[in-house]
Amino acid sequence: MSFLRYKEDKYWRDEKQGLFKVWVLPLVVLFGAILITVCLNFAGCSVGYTVNKAISAPYRLAADAPNATFTLKYLDQLDAGLVSQHATTGHTALIFKTDANSLSVYRNNLTELRARARYVATLDQSAISYQYAIANLKEAAQNLGNPSSGIVWVQYWWLTGLIVLAYIGSFVCLIWLFLRLSN
């Protein structure tokens, strides 16, 4: 590698520093930071997927169900999803905790909505009152709200922080590599 011996070459470094410290070390640190960022993003997608599957999907299905039997089925799945994600108590906000974002209030409203769906399921489906009850049940299910994004934020705030730190680390490594090679 005699071409690195010429001082006019922009990649020239003195003998003590060597080629390893000039090229390989910054590149290894950069690729390590990028690998950590990618892994943390996949972990975040996995967390979001499981919460979406357990909570958000049954919520949307319950709000759009054609009859009370399906509404009740999806509301039961939503309740089971809240239990499986350990989202039965607490709040869906980190800082401003109110009754509007309380999971225990949400669960109480869900229990009341499930009781209403059980009652509507016992009505005669050809009656006008059944149609009004179904419309009212759908509206109540839509007004219940979807807590899945708040649950992800509250339970996995540290993962978001790690992803942000990994992006910052990758950016710092890129700047370091650029500054090392521009000298």
- CA-to-CA distance for 166 and 30, rounded, in angstroms? 11
Cβ count within 10 A of residue 1: 5
pLDDT in tens, 47-77: 788 888 899 899 999 989 888 999 999 999 9
| Structural domain of 174 | 20-182
User: Amino acid letter at 5?
Assistant: R
Which range has the top average pLDDT, 26-40, 61-75, 85-99?
A: 61-75
CA distance 180 to 124: 78
Assigned domain for 89 exists: yes
In a domain, 150, yes or no: yes
15 in a domain, yes or no? no
Q: How does DSSP classify residue 102? A: B
- Average pLDDT rounded to a whole number, residues 111-128: 92
Q: Of the segments 98-102, 109-113, 167-171, which one has the largest average pLDDT value?
A: 109-113
Is 7 inside any structural domain?
no
| Alpha-carbon gap, residue 148 to 54, rounded angstroms | 9
Cα separation of 105 and 82, whole Å?
Answer: 13
